[in-house]
A and B are shown apart, each in its own frame.
Chain A
Amino acid sequence: MSVVRLSRRHVTQSLGVVLATFALPSPSVFGQVPANVPFSLRNNRRLEGWIRVEADETVTVFTGKAELGQGILTALAQIAAEELDIGFDKIRMVSADTSRGPDEQYTFGSQSVEQSGGAIRAAGAEARGILLAAAARRFGVRAEELQVRSGTIIAADGRRATFWALAKQSAGLLKGDIALATAPKKPGDYAIVGKSVNRIDLPGKLTGAPSYVQDMRLPGMVFARVVRPPRYGARLLAFDEAAVRALPGVVAVVSDGNFLAVAAGREEQAIGARDVLAASAHWSDDAVELPDMARLRTELKKLRAETIVVGSAGQSEPAPGQAKRVGAEYSRAYLSHAAIGPSCAVAWLRDGRMTVWSHTQGAFPLRGDLAKVLGMPNGEVDVVHVPGAGCYGHNGADDVALDAALVARAVPGAPVKLQWMRDDEFAWAPFGPGMAMKVEAALGSDGKIVDWSYDVWSNSHAMRPGQPGGVNLLAAWDLKTPFVKSPAPHIPQPFGDGDRNAVPSYELPRKEIRNHLLLDAPVRNGSFRTLGAHGNIFAIESFMDELAEAAGSDPLAFRLAHLGDPRAQAVLQAAADKAGWVPGKKGDGQRGRGLAFCRYKSIGMYAAAVVDVEVDRNSGVIRVPRVVMAADLGLVVNPDGAKNQLEGAIVQAVSLTLKEQVAFDRRQITSRDWSAYPVLTFTEVPSIDIVLMQRSDPSLGAGEGSLPPTSAALANAFAHATGRRLRELPMTPERVKAALS
């Protein structure tokens, strides 16, 4: 198979680390050896599947994880350089690619450093051990007597051999399975891991080098656009194909059931043809009845649900009788990913093979669903990850990949670039589901919680492609012979789905937590950063403040009294200290301060937030001047990169707490541009102070966990400032004014 290289290697050479992303490689097969080994090694045992010592004195590192704009490839390169003892600038990263990389399923759940990092750490240690043993044999010395400096092995008498020379001389040296024969370094010996390094992909992105799938240009490429129905459920009755085909540049009009798309030689021609196609299309009046978004909390509970108890304790004892009982209900709106660039893919059908370049979070799972819809064997479809605009979960990336592939099938031999328009993205990408939460608790005479009852209602947040029983791709449901959606998977605690973080980290002698997974899904849902943790922590941490008030206790002291884990107590105390928390201080009607804690997924990073607010009582606008966050991430690979992640999720949390809600009437989504779905802007962004706890425990993931406690602390700050509590998100000026009137 010929290799087309559109790599920007030549332009990025001066930067050292190279991202080899735009390439068409030859297929390879990886061993399938089940074993009791690090998670990502279980199905990918071959050493050269992770690390290849190249003839050009570089090392290629393969990961199944994708760069989602969070700097993961940089952190993984640090881990590889550390274990191999080579210069950081010798590493070349290849990310998720079904044709040549390991299958690590999805890049999600803040697990990449843990999973891929764990595998690369083991592979790097193994490769270094094998190379040291080879050098020891050659020099006739023991491996322990050798040193490694920047990829050169040095004997006590000064003899030297480089990794590259050793690998070249013995072709099979690094081709075996990873035996886990060499232990990785101890954190105390780290020289590269733990240091802030600059992101390897940013120089190109900041100077206009081709970096995104949107920037791909292949020979003979055509541009395509889709025309989606006006609402869920509408069927395509008729359209004027001849009129569209007659437009300048149009090379194909693709229709299959309710799927409609057009391809043209130039991008603006495709966009113009989309407008004509949309205007000529007649759709049935069918609609899916949508909930009343003004009454989401009650509307959600009307939907059919499957109820599971996801946490309980002390239920064999009766509820305490002589206790003070308190209850409250909360909700959050449906949320949009709202990346700055709409989803995009390039698809190319040639010589019977379909290659799709995509900013998907799961190249392998997407490949499987694409193959099903296209009626092709998995082996004839490849998905290569190329970055897109910001990824905060399951956005339109997978859907647009199928859209592009369907158009590519209509123009065989021609690569097709298909980007969604802004309204496609806002109306059709999966949303973070709306959620309703209800808490009741009882306080004993000592002011501690003696009983806890919790319910959460939401649709599944886990509707990605690659799950059994169907296909989770938008266009697949619209074809003349449609595919069914995969049923929602059951994700057990502590990960959870809508019930992620529904089980509090607090020590509660008697508790029952119920997840009501909604089975009817009038609005299309998917995974948005933290899944249900955002709604659950908003409810739990709001309610902890309500309980503290009922107990006459300070919010910080009340939480500390219910936490047994010293790491949890430490982040809370660190955030409070940094912010200058004053116990018992009252809000003044306008200004206030709130606190919240979250251990993400109950097993991930610890985070505590202190948020300050200023409330304009006339306009109802809440301003957030400052957020303080203390976070315990375990071992931090790239401190500045981790801080960047924490900051980003804090800003996003403020944005969705104050502003964000997908809007719809009873028939269709109405928030289809930035004026209808506003996000936080420069003048509204708080100053942020981050305290990173110094730990050498295993890495816990930094991508999401600062979001939920920020949202909850903001709600607590509003209540602290005004004495009124908002229990529905977002906290819009209308709701603020209603609460204060």
Chain B
Amino acid sequence: MRYYKYIVIALAGTWLLQGCAKDLLNTVPNDRISTEIFWKTDNDATLAANAIYLDMAETADHFIGWDCMSDIVFTNPTGPVEASIAQGTFNALNSRISGDWSTYYAGIRGANSFMTHVGEVQTTNPALISRLKGEVRAMRAYFYMRLVSLFGDVPLVTTEISLGESEKVTRTPAAKVWDFVAAELDTAATLLPAKQTDLGRVTKGAAMAIKARAMLYAGRYPDAATAASQVMASNTYSLYPTYKTLFSYAAENNAEDILDIQFLPDVYPNNIFQAFAPRSVNANSKWVPTKKIVDAYQMKNGLDITDPSSGFDPANPYLNRDPRLGYSVFVPGDVLPNGKTFNSLPNSTTGDAVGSSFVVSPTGFNIEKYVNKEDLSKPADCGINFILIRYAEVLLTYAEAMIEQNNLDASVYDAINKIRQRSDVNMPPITSGQTQDQLRAIVRHEREVEFAFESLRYFDIRRWKIAGTVMPGKVNGLTYKDTNGVFQTVEVPGWTQTWDDRNYLWPIPQKEIDLNKNLTQNTGW
């Protein structure tokens, strides 16, 4: 009996030892895939290319953040890092600056990996591989366009570099980076189809439109004009008939949309309704239009509101204005997505009254562009696509590039007037016989109002070198009659913006300088 007990226990012990010892130290994750098994099939190439789109995509806050750094949008409250850039109090530690640097280089890494490894794929569909290469190269050029326009000279990295190499790279002169961008986009355009089955992928037209913008930013006006006219000549794109609905769900992927960020509720949503719409519709008024942009819209007769003969009535400031104001900005009297009337006047008792709380718009204006009533009930789960490049920009790029070359032919007027005379805009056309300076002012004004809240303004005021004029000072909002009948203009309390010319280039992020002694800092930083 006693021995029997021992045997049972010994057997039990042996069983315990054996029972759970298998592969104890070789746990393999089942929620991710190893790099070793990748780059085998066509689908792998597609999956790798798809991932790069996420680095081109932007959140609503990031997208509108560009305009916040300019004179046309104010952020409320002033927490976001873009606010300190607008105010002029930022430095090389600013997280928007380091974040953008890293994001674009992450995209570039993805693209470089793709270009390095795509050859390993045993392809059954060379056309697919070639098309994907075009998409990836165009996106890589897009990332460099952003980097070089923000930072000036940046390291031009075109291979999968190691950690050690990344600690030694040097800044490539901006001109060389622009050369690369131009060449890559030309190549990409030859690889890409005019239309993609998957809407949202980079097309031939998109590659050329990116090139047009890049060359305009680079000041290479002949190249910009050529690239723009190639897009125009492709007959693939046209202006969407109504500006009012251009940013609605119904207009997604329309013929004016050349490149966009594709959103899908629940799957890949944005929160643009929450970020833009007024307080009274359950939103945050986080980013709001300033007096500057509202005043920039002309009267319907084509005259600036500052022109004494324009007919501007300070008591009815939104009457008879460029219709794009009404389509882009919520001003008092506008109908909100919930059917109620927007009234932000300080003495109104609505939830949108200026000064009633710091979460309402401190200017009394809200952005209307991209605010769709479909998103009213789920303001942080919106699917509306953000347009990165639309045909109107190509037209104005063409016009500007021609004007800068002092090439003031009819095509220039035609391009500008097409935009002014969109059916529901219908502003008076620009009459011929303008000087280069006059046309330059016209095209710049047209860009400001046409593309308000579409993330182009910050780049424009930097390359036009007008930031020093438009940025400094207080931020104001609507003008109203107080109880004594005196006109008062709303001012954002405690907020003064400044501009330093060193801001025309962002500082290289401090972290990058710390980690790589070969990187030099921009002048003034």
Are A and B a genuine interacting pair, yes or no? Answer: no
User: Which residues of A approach B to under 8 Å, CB–CB?
Assistant: none
User: Which residues of B approach A to under 8 Å, CB–CB?
Assistant: none
